[in-house]
Every structure is written in C-alpha cells, then in structure tokens.
Chains A and B, each alone.
Chain A
C-alpha cells in the first residue's frame, strides 16, 4: 500500500564502524552530520556499548532530544574494494547550528549517495564523447587529449575571447574551496578567460556589489545574532523554506521567547530583552510569514511590495527613520564617509523633498501604505525603552538579489542598516541569507566590471568552446528557452560538420585527427564545442560533445563555510566516487597539464608553465593550501578583520579542521599578532568597515524609472490584456535546486511530481482551474507547463512558479534583462498569460498533495 519502499527496521552501526563528520551538502545553513560506514554483513547491537551511536536503542528515543535515524538516513554503497558497505548519515547534536535538527532536504543526504541498486545508479561513471552523434565511453586519456587539443587550438587561433564557460562558485556539495580553486586556476591563471558565467547567472559578478562597494561583505552576522535580535527582518527571503534549520532553531526560538535569557546576558544593563518581532517583506504570504503569525500575529509585520519596488520602500523607511531621529548620528559621524553621505541624503533620503510628498510617491510605487511603512520603520529602528538602540538583524536573499535593479536594491537595504547602526553589534547584521554554502577562492577574474553577459554572447554566435560545470543552465538561466535553442543549434552545427565525405561518412577515430576536424569545423561554421562536467547527464548535457564525470559530496574531502556564521569545516570523504568520476579540481589540474604538454611539445615553455598550476596537487589538502596563497597577510588586529576577504582561511590546514570537527572556525581567520595562533571572527565590522579608510561608503540610489523595456513592453497596447498576470518565481521547501538528486527519490517526486504555479483563488475561478489541473503559462519569451496549486500565498494578479524542476523551468518565461550596473538578471518579475491544459492527471491527483503549504491553523 505504501507509495514507495518503506522499512520498519534499520541496520545498526556496530561500535567499531568507521565514523566521519561532515556538513550537509545542500543549503546555506550548513547543518553538521555524523557518518557511519561499515561492511554489509555485520550489525551493531542495541545496547549503548554495542553501537557506534553510543545510544540505548532498546528504548524509543525521546522526541526532539533523541537521535534522529530515519529510513532516508541509511543506504548501502559499493566501494572500490568491490565490497558493499552500509552508510548512515545522521544530523549531529554537537553542531551548534543544528543541534540534532535537520530539514527535509538534508534528511536525504544518505540516499543521494551513489548506489548501483537505486536511482543514483544514473551517476556518470566514465567520460563520454559524442561520436557519430551518440555518447560513447572513453578513457580520461582520450578525454583530456580531445579537450586540451580543442582548448589550445581555439586559444591559439582566436584568443581567450572564444573560450566560454559557466561554472559553480559556491561551497557545499558540488563546490568548496578545493574545487573552486581548481576551476579558477585553469580559467583565469591558465586561460585568461573573461567569458565565464557563474552557476546561477549569466556573468562573472557579485550578486551584492551594492553592499560590497560600501565596505560591507554580505556575510557579516553570526547565527547567534538571530537569537539576540529584537527584530528580524526577512527581505525577499523565505527562510523557513530555504534556510530551514536556521529559521527553526534560531529565528523562531527567538520569536517564541526561548532566547530571552541569552539576550539578558548579552545586552546592556537594564536594556529590554523580549521575544523578537518579525518583519517579512515579500510579495507572497509564505510559510515564513504564516508560521510566526500562527504563534503571535501581533509581532509579525508582512509588507507585500509591488514587484521591483523594494529599494523605493527601503529608502522610504530610511526617510521615516531620519525624520523621527531614530538613526545613530554618532555612528554615522565616526564610522561612515560623510562626503558620500550627502549623495545618500539627496538621492535616497530625498531630503530636498517634503516628507509627505516622498511617502505618498512611495505609497503609489510600492503599494505599501504609509502606516505600514511607519510601523516597519519603528520596528527596525525606534529605540527601546530607556533609549537603548534597537537590535535588528536584516537578512535578504533572492527576492532582493534577483530583483529589478539588483545594485540599487542591495545598496538600499545595507544603507538602511548602517543608518540605524544595525551592524557590528550583537543581535544585528545586514546580509544575505544565502542559497548554497560558500567556499570561494580563486585567482582574480581578468574581466571588467560590469562583466559581459555570457549567455547573450554565445546566443549571438560568439565563443567556439563552452564548458559547463556543476550547473544546468537549460533549467537555470534566464530567458532559457531561447538559450536552449541557440545552444542546441550551434552544437548541432558542429556535430554535423564532423562527418567526413561531405557529411555522409563517419568521424575521425584518432583523437588528434578528431581535434583537427573539430577545429576546422569551428572555423567554417558557427558551431560550438560543449563540455559538460557534472554528477549526472543533466538537461544541458544532452547537447554536449564531451561529458566529464565529477565526484560528489562525500566522495572526496572538501571544505566550505556556511552563510549564517562563515563557519569553516571539513566535509570528510566517506565513500568512493562511482567508476572513473573525479573531483573537479583534479579534472581542471589534468586539463591544465595536458595543455601544458602540448605547449612544451611546441617548445613554448612560458605558455606551458601557466598551465602547470596543479602539477603538485596530489590531495584535496594540497589544493586547499595552494588556494590559501590567494589571501593577503592575515596577521592583523581584531579591528582589521574588516580588511580581510570574508573567506580568508590562511593558516588553517586539514589537521586543524580535523581537530575542531563540527565546531569549525569562523572566517575570516586571522593570525593573532600576539599569540601567532589562528582566530576566527564571530561578527564583522565591529570596529571598521572593509574600505581603505575603514569608513562606510554611501551611495545615492536612482530615482524610480518604471520597468525596463523587456518587461515594460507587456504594458503596451494589446499586450496589456493578453498578458494579464505578473509572474514571480522561487523555490520549494521539499527539494534542492534543480533536483539533480531529488529526481531519483520517490519521497520527493511523489510530493512534487511536476513544476507548479500558485494561483490566487479569485484568478483560479476566472481561469476555471482548480488545484491539480495543468496549465500553460506563456509570454513572448517562452512557455512552460505547470501543475496548479490554488493558494492565497499570492495576491490576485500575481502568479508564483517554482523557478525550476526536473520536468521544466519557469526561466523559459523570464526576460533577458539584466541590471546594467551588475549584469544580474531580474528572474523574479515578468508578465504572463495562463491557459488551462487539462484537469489533474489521475495518478498525480491520487499521489500528490495539493494542500496549502502556508496554512498551519
């Protein structure tokens, strides 16, 4: 009767099972986990001394405080010794950030491990080369021969401008310092490539230049601040769904009053310490709003601005604060740059314009009432009884980052925080929530700012070589329908040109002859040679010429930091990668060496050297330590932590990380000038900001100019009635990103079988659709088919779509607009039409729940 295979008994790790510590492969929170590995055929006992948990398993575990070991936390894997092993991955209790807790995504960490007997058997095991328009297994030797030949050929004939790539830059599974350093070393040190895009956007940029240019790195708070804040602001972040354990364990416990004792200990004498208030700024009424509302609605404020207007709202709040005198004047005077402050006063606060006028304009643009704005301003900045500065933690994420005018949006929020001194004090901070974890270390990117839009560059026919690593742009890039068609056409053009005898014969069998043929074909067609490097044969891989199998989480040691605390930890290897799959850093190093060899054969010693960055990389730690050399001298004072890159880990090695385990160390790491020992940084910018003179640099935001052409066109003439809905996008609690693992897990595919849209009941009535029905959503950019959830999460006239799903992407509908200042897309706003396709499919109606996910009453 179960919809998928269930267990009613689980194997027990014996007391001598191999144990490892690691961190969840998925989200920004970075929950700690314990891993147990032992050969199949053996079993521990239920008594505490008979099992590796050290727990009495004869008794049921006590709720909340007991060990969580669920069906999804066990799997079996086969190692290189040809034997099967049990693998158990359970949330760790001695990890401060999660304290034994975990989320629905991390709960499946074990199930994502490669296994011949489950869905993950689909992992890529060997390099695949498209030969005769089919993938054929080849050796790494052949793969590197072809790869290095094509790269060097393109580089020598046309220069680095014709080499393009899209690669991860994050931490956690699929990333980490080691892999990032490998990618950066080849692309920047070796190849000098400028046409490189980051995994989730079409360019090589920061998503938060609006903050960094001010001297504020986006990860500046610590998880403790979420426990100490008087007010938690979630701006364009549905933290319950996308940073789940951070929300539950820290924000919500603060909201419930469970951290009042900690506040009393941390606050000044006589300072009021009460359960937190929450301000959620989001066009949708998500679970992150309705959960605290179900506890105490009087302490929750939900603002639902019109799409794209958040920076106008932030500036209006700042103006109210200014008028009320709730800003911190002495902080502004001593810690910020007063010259640029004039700009801010003029353009953002609009001090030359009367308050009433500014606020009534803001009301019209944002759709938020003045009363609500005043309430939000008070909750963020009004001093507490006794004149104590309020402590507000302001966390933003993709609702702001992927908003129209990325730069101004981010700048406006961080400036609101600095105006009110909500940074650098316990219980404050202003930064991003994070999507993935982080773990960035690379040689400098050689391109300009703003960087080129690599998608458009390739679409226009530029670039002869395209290397996609650990990301699936067929789902994740904006305006992806056009992108897919262009990549398909260009890769296909090359494939066709490879056939001998005027297109009627086979392809050269010898790799060197094949390379020659590829280079000739690239010269005479607008063809594109595409390499895809990933765990699985992703959507984009269907058009690749060469597919390279990458090792995943748990298959090689990696290091990363989480987002809420910049906590650096070691994610230990606990199993072998499948087949010939290799860590990304190894693939990049070997590619470099293969190119170097070709140069050396031509006697071009200098050129060869650039590509030998990885010649001494034997272990992941070698790469980690090589990466550390990118950081500046970190023997600096506590105050000068602000001068260090946020991820600086110089002075740390694997031995250190193995010793501190899940306790980790918070970056930036400094070497204490007195003791010579590495010390972490709990909270940033306590003493100075990250600018040359230590002062925060203000910025005057642009005036409201309406929507960019790519979206404004939908309000012209007939289009206005043809595309009557706004569309915004986001993620679902249940799954991770493109579902590259989740698509093999029945728990996930049963609950979320198709990409979905949320439609307000009034609109649903008008459209004649109900929950479970299928609709087509379309506009002049593209099309997508979705399952309907009728939901009051959206307002009438606004449709929400899951941004991507294994079975389709809402990015087909997203325009090609990017912020001219940053080249960051506006993924979360466009106009669409909706038409019903069919009633709910019977088997999906039977198995997929369509109950509202934001109603807890």
Chain B
C-alpha cells in the first residue's frame, strides 16, 4: 500500500492553488481541485484481477487500482484496462471489495462496474464510484493518479482542510 506523506500532500496542494492563481470562488465539475500527481503502481507489476490498494488523495482515503483484462472507460496501459477508483462505497462509505471483476459493498450490497466508469448497477448507492484518472509514463510504466472524478463519500470536499 502506498500513502502520500503529509509533506508531499501539502506541497502538491499548494502548487495546485498557485497554478489557479487565487482562492477558489465557485464550484465546477470534477476534477476541479488541485490534486497531487502520485505514483500508485507500475504496469509491469499488475496482474489481471488483482487489486492494488493505495491512499489518495490523502492518507485517509482508500483507493484501488485494478487491471481488468478487458477494455474499460478511462482505462490506461496497452490494453486500456487499468482503472482506479475511490474504494469507499458511495452509499454510506464502507470499504469496497473487488470480487470477480467488479466492486461489491459488504454493508448493503451495492455493486459497481469498474469497466463502466464505476456505474452503480445494483444496490443502495446512487452515485457511480469516483474514478481516479491515471497517467502512464511510457518509458518506465509508472502509473500516476491525477485526480478524483466524483465526491468521495463522507466529505464535502475531496481535499480536506
């Protein structure tokens, strides 16, 4: 599991805000916040169907990356099948399980399809799972998390503070 140190995180946020030039005054569609770019995996180490858990955008938010083996919306890598999401159920925040190619919530059985933008296709959740856009460095195969598209459950802003 990888975690952002607090120092890295503060630095990332600060530079993001600086890039914006001023304090944010309104709301826009996600990703709208100065997210840090964080290395979360390397393509060479990924196995189909084996989830990699990491913290993003901060230490208190569990996220999950998985190589699906089939093309997915927002997928990266040669097969466009590597995707990442917040791992907190959008219903009431329980940690999700990746089982048989999709996410299942052990609390009230919401199910999310990782190939379809984290779509809720069963259960109590209303919102799709927030997807984490990824970027791959071609030379190294390093995979970076670049933001969060959708609100992480239990927050009024994806970036705490």
Q: Which of A58-66, A304-312, A347-355, A542-550 contacts B (4 or more CB under 8 A)?
A: A58-66
Q: Which of A174-182, A413-421, A841-849 contacts B (4 or more CB under 8 A)?
A: A841-849
B81 to chain A, nearest CB (A): 14
Question: For chain B residues 21-79, which have a beta carbon within 8 Å of chain A?
Answer: 27, 29-33, 60-61, 73-74
Q: Which of B1-9, B10-18, B125-133, B137-145 contacts A (4 or more CB under 8 A)?
A: B125-133
CB of B20 closer than 8 Å to a CB of A: no
B122 engages A62 (CB within 8 Å):
no
Name the CB-closest residue of A to B153.
Answer: A70
B120 engages A104 (CB within 8 Å):
yes
Name the CB-closest residue of A to B24.
Answer: A9
In the complex, what residues of A have CB within 8 A of residue B133's CB? Answer: 1
In the complex, what residues of B have CB within 8 A of residue A103's CB? Answer: 124
Name the CB-closest residue of A to B122.
Answer: A853
**A-contact 0/1 string along B91-110, CB 8 Å cutoff:** 11111000111101001111
Known: A63-B95, A849-B121, A851-B111. A8 touches B33 (CB 8 A): yes
B154 engages A66 (CB within 8 Å):
yes
A9 engages B149 (CB within 8 Å):
no
CB of A10 closer than 8 Å to a CB of B: yes
A750 to chain B, nearest CB (A): 6
A9 engages B158 (CB within 8 Å):
yes
CB of A836 closer than 8 Å to a CB of B: no
B32 to chain A, nearest CB (A): 6
A9 engages B126 (CB within 8 Å):
no
CB of A856 closer than 8 Å to a CB of B: yes
A289 to chain B, nearest CB (A): 13
Known: A11-B27, A103-B124, A107-B126. A1 touches B117 (CB 8 A): yes
Question: For chain A residues 287-341, which have a beta carbon within 8 Å of chain B?
Answer: 287, 291
B122 engages A287 (CB within 8 Å):
yes
CB of A642 closer than 8 Å to a CB of B: no
CB of A5 closer than 8 Å to a CB of B: yes
Secondary structure class of chain A's binding surface, majority of residues = loop
Question: Among A4, A5, A6, which residue has its beta carbon within 8 angstroms of that of B130?
Answer: A6
A61 engages B153 (CB within 8 Å):
yes
Known: A58-B160, A64-B94. A733 touches B73 (CB 8 A): no
Q: Which 10 A-B pairs have the closest CB atoms?
A: A107-B126, A61-B154, A63-B93, A8-B30, A849-B113, A849-B121, A6-B150, A6-B30, A853-B122, A9-B157
Known: A6-B29, A8-B149. A70 touches B107 (CB 8 A): no
B151 engages A70 (CB within 8 Å):
yes
CB of A489 closer than 8 Å to a CB of B: no
Name the CB-closest residue of B to A109.
Answer: B126
B93 engages A64 (CB within 8 Å):
yes
B75 to chain A, nearest CB (A): 10
CB of A133 closer than 8 Å to a CB of B: no
B124 engages A101 (CB within 8 Å):
yes
Complex CA distance for A421 and B74, rounded to whole angstroms? 58
A7 engages B124 (CB within 8 Å):
no
CB of A837 closer than 8 Å to a CB of B: no
A13 to chain B, nearest CB (A): 10
B151 engages A10 (CB within 8 Å):
yes
In the complex, what residues of B have CB within 8 A of residue A12's CB? Answer: 156
**B-contact 0/1 string along A69-82, CB 8 Å cutoff:** 11110000000000
A747 engages B120 (CB within 8 Å):
yes
In the complex, what residues of B have CB within 8 A of residue A101's CB? Answer: 92, 108, 124
A847 engages B119 (CB within 8 Å):
yes
Name the CB-closest residue of B to A853.
Answer: B122
Complex CA distance for A681 and B92, rounded to whole angstroms? 32
Complex CA distance for A10 and B33, rounded to whole angstroms? 12
Name the CB-closest residue of A to B33.
Answer: A8
Known: A60-B154, A751-B121. A72 touches B29 (CB 8 A): no
A38 to chain B, nearest CB (A): 15
Name the CB-closest residue of A to B117.
Answer: A3
Known: A1-B149, A7-B30, A8-B148. A751 touches B119 (CB 8 A): yes
CB of A244 closer than 8 Å to a CB of B: yes
Given contacts A6-B151, A60-B154, A62-B93, 14 further A-B contacts (CB under 8 A): A2-B30, A2-B117, A3-B117, A6-B130, A8-B151, A8-B157, A10-B151, A63-B89, A64-B94, A107-B127, A287-B109, A847-B73, A847-B117, A849-B121
Name the CB-closest residue of B to A59.
Answer: B160
Can you identify 15 A-B contacts, CB atoms within 8 angstroms? Answer: A2-B128, A8-B31, A10-B151, A61-B154, A62-B154, A64-B92, A70-B151, A101-B92, A101-B124, A107-B126, A248-B109, A747-B126, A848-B116, A849-B113, A849-B115
**B-contact 0/1 string along A425-447, CB 8 Å cutoff:** 00000000000000000000000
Complex CA distance for A108 and B120, rounded to whole angstroms? 13
Interface residues of B (CB under 8 A from A): 27, 29-33, 60-61, 73-74, 88-95, 99-102, 104, 107-111, 113, 115-117, 119-128, 130-131, 133, 147-158, 160-161
Complex CA distance for A5 and B30, rounded to whole angstroms? 7
B154 engages A10 (CB within 8 Å):
no
Question: Among A2, A10, A63, A70, which residue has its beta carbon within 8 angstroms of that of B149?
Answer: A2
**B-contact 0/1 string along A759-793, CB 8 Å cutoff:** 00000000000000000000000000000000000
Complex CA distance for A9 and B130, rounded to whole angstroms? 12
CB of A357 closer than 8 Å to a CB of B: no
A69 engages B156 (CB within 8 Å):
yes
Question: Among A1, A8, A11, A287, which residue has its beta carbon within 8 angstroms of that of B158?
Answer: A8
A64 engages B107 (CB within 8 Å):
yes
Question: For chain A residues 95-140, which have a beta carbon within 8 Å of chain B?
Answer: 100-104, 107-108
CB of A148 closer than 8 Å to a CB of B: no
CB of A679 closer than 8 Å to a CB of B: no
B113 engages A851 (CB within 8 Å):
yes
Known: A64-B107, A851-B111. A70 touches B90 (CB 8 A): yes
Complex CA distance for A106 and B123, rounded to whole angstroms? 12
Known: A9-B32, A747-B128, A857-B99. A248 touches B120 (CB 8 A): no
Complex CA distance for A102 and B94, rounded to whole angstroms? 14
B121 engages A734 (CB within 8 Å):
yes
B102 engages A851 (CB within 8 Å):
yes
Complex CA distance for A684 and B159, rounded to whole angstroms? 51
Interface-central residue, A66, A104, A747, by most chain B CB under 10 Å: A104
B92 engages A10 (CB within 8 Å):
no
B32 engages A8 (CB within 8 Å):
yes
In the complex, what residues of B have CB within 8 A of residue A66's CB? Answer: 92-93, 154
Question: Among B95, B128, B148, which residue has its beta carbon within 8 angstroms of that of A3?
Answer: B128
In the complex, what residues of A have CB within 8 A of residue B93's CB? Answer: 61-64, 66, 68
B155 engages A61 (CB within 8 Å):
yes
A747 engages B122 (CB within 8 Å):
no
B39 to chain A, nearest CB (A): 20
CB of A456 closer than 8 Å to a CB of B: no
Known: A60-B60, A60-B61. A747 touches B92 (CB 8 A): no
Complex CA distance for A4 and B117, rounded to whole angstroms? 10
B160 engages A71 (CB within 8 Å):
no
Complex CA distance for A747 and B161, rounded to whole angstroms? 29
B156 engages A57 (CB within 8 Å):
yes
In the complex, what residues of B have CB within 8 A of residue A5's CB? Answer: 29
In the complex, what residues of B have CB within 8 A of residue A104's CB? Answer: 91, 110, 120, 123-126
CB of A462 closer than 8 Å to a CB of B: no
Complex CA distance for A2 and B127, rounded to whole angstroms? 12
